[in-house]
Amino acid sequence: MTAASDDLYQHQLRIALNKIAIDASVGDFNSKLLLERLSQERIRQHRLSAIKRHVQANGYPDTLRGRTEAMNDLFG
């Protein structure tokens, strides 16, 4: 993903989280489950971004193996 598409994705995710949080606050059980899933997706996206930055900053090859090594370096 490019930086612009990452920014757009993050913006859309924030809007969705805010909208669902309102539904969840009034007791909509399905919205609470969806809010949890979206929160997990947000965490996943932050981790992927951190891995991508770590790959670029530390000279890992931009391959599956390089990203895996960077992930292990970051998250153990």
Each residue's pLDDT tens digit, 15-73: 887 777 777 666 667 777 877 888 898 898 888 888 889 998 999 988 889 888 988 99
Averaged pLDDT, 8-19: 81
Q: Give the contacts of 75 (CB within 8 A, at least 6 positions apart).
A: 47
Q: Sign of the CA dihedral 66, 70, 73, 76?
A: negative
Q: Which domain holds residue 23?
A: 3-75
pTM: 0.57
How many folded domains does the chain comprise? 1
Whether the predicted pLDDT of 14 surpasses 70: yes
Alpha carbon separation from 75 to 12, 51, 58, 72 (Å, rounded): 27, 9, 15, 5
pLDDT of residue 57: 92
Residue predicted with more confidence, 2 or 17 = 17
Asked if residues 67 and 53 have their Cβ atoms less than 8 Å apart, the reply is: no
